[in-house]
């Protein structure tokens, strides 16, 4: 069987310092990013990878960033635009527990949530030397309200026939990516392992990578696979509405 991958635009981060995305390269430049969730359509679907960020107001108040997020970029509305009811999502894979990837979990209340065990453990109490705001630690980590639905994954795991989780630590300790078998290729939904296509083509981690050596090992593992990469924040992904 084959799947279709539909990127959902759930908000636009504006004027981000480029060096925070390309590991200290291009200082002084800025870049706009898209916060994606990924709708997977197939015989065993619909499935969802990531659930997007908070509101623009919350992003400004708590994270000090500009997030443009219109009403149609709410997860429920974005799914409805693809004729999918949020209540029909039964499985969500969360690449990692940073605020811009898991804030939409309450909007898919009937789904089990698959997260690496290491990411759950770290997100509950991040290293003080890391930027704890990414997990919203001082707010009690909002994802904790969803722990009852979380299924801890340890390493690789099959989500459904043709959809597989692989660990890609580095950006965060328990980061994971998702392999999706489509009609023409196998896609790698990279999350923040790769923010931009440039991170892939230039072998460049993001500036907020907590373990560069782990990221390099993840890169080596993925580069040995026959996959087509879909990075987690690149506006160029939106050139196609569906990836088959």
Residue 60 lies in a domain: yes
CATH of the domain at 133: 3.60.15.10
What is the DSSP-derived secondary structure letter of residue 23? T
In a domain, 190, yes or no: yes
CA atoms within 13 A on the CB side of 18: 10
Q: Would 55 be classed as within a structural domain?
A: yes
Look at residue 207 in the predicted model and tell me its pLDDT: 87
Domain tally, the chain: 1
Tell me, rounded to whole angstroms, the distance of Cα 82 from its chain centroid: 19
* Domain assignment present for 244: no
Residue 242: pLDDT band with limits 50, 70, 90:
very high
- At 128, the pLDDT band (50, 70, 90 cuts) reads confident
Question: What's residue 130's pLDDT?
Answer: 80
Rounded percentage of the chain residues whose pLDDT exceeds 90: 93
pLDDT value of position 111: 98
Give the H/E segment covering residue 187: strand 186-189
Average pLDDT over residues 139-152: 92
Neighbouring CB atoms inside 10 A of 74's CB total 18
Angle at 162 between CA 117 and CA 81, to 5 degrees: 90
Helix (H, G, I), strand (E, B) or coil at 74: coil
9 domain residue, yes or no: yes
Q: Return the pLDDT at 155.
A: 98
In contact, 91 and 47? CB cutoff 8 Å: yes
Is the pLDDT at 138 greater than 90? The verdict is no
Report the candidate in 168, 172, 167, 161 with the shortest Cα–Cα distance to residue 134.
Answer: 172
The confidence band for 220, taking pLDDT boundaries of 50, 70 and 90, is very high
User: For position 140, what pLDDT does the model report?
Assistant: 82
The mean predicted confidence, pLDDT, of the chain is 96
Give the tokens for residue 79: 């799914």
Residues 6+ apart with CB under 8 A from 61: none
Structure confidence by residue, pLDDT tens digits, 2-57? 999 999 999 999 999 999 999 989 999 999 999 999 999 999 999 999 999 999 99
Q: Which two tokens stand for residue 56?
A: 């623009």
Looking at the domain assignment, is residue 146 inside a domain?
yes
Residue 51's domain spans which residues? Answer: 4-238
pLDDT at 161: 97
pLDDT exceeding 70 applies to what percent of the chain? Answer: 100
Distances 210 to 14, 23, 121, 214 between C-alpha atoms, Å: 23, 11, 15, 9
Q: Tell me, yes or no, whether 243 lies in a domain.
A: no
């Amino acid at each position: 069987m084959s799947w279709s991958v539909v990127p959902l635009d759930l908000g636009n981060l504006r004027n981000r310092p480029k060096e925070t995305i390309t590991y200290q390269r291009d200082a002084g430049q800025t870049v706009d990013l898209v916060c994606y969730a990924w709708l997977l359509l197939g015989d065993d679907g619909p499935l969802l990878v990531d659930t997007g960020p908070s509101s623009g107001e919350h992003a400004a108040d708590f994270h000090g960033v500009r997030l443009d997020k219109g009403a149609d970029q709410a997860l429920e509305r974005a799914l409805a635009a693809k004729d999918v009811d949020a209540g029909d999502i039964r499985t969500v894979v969360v690449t990692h527990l940073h605020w811009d990837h898991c804030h939409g979990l309450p909007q898919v209340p009937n789904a089990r949530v698959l997260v690496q065990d290491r990411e759950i453990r770290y997100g509950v109490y991040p290293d003080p030397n890391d930027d704890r705001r990414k997990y919203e630690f001082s707010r009690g980590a909002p994802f904790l309200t969803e722990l009852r639905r979380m299924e801890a994954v340890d390493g690789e795991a099959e989500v459904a026939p043709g959809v597989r989780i692989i660990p890609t630590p580095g950006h965060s300790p328990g980061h994971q990516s998702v392999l999706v078998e489509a009609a023409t290729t196998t896609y790698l939904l990279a999350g923040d392992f790769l923010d931009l296509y440039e991170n892939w083509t230039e072998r460049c981690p993001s500036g907020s990578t907590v373990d560069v050596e782990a990221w390099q090992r993840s890169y080596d593992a993925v580069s040995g696979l026959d996959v087509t990469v879909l990075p987690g924040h690149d506006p160029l992904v939106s050139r196609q509405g569906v990836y088959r």
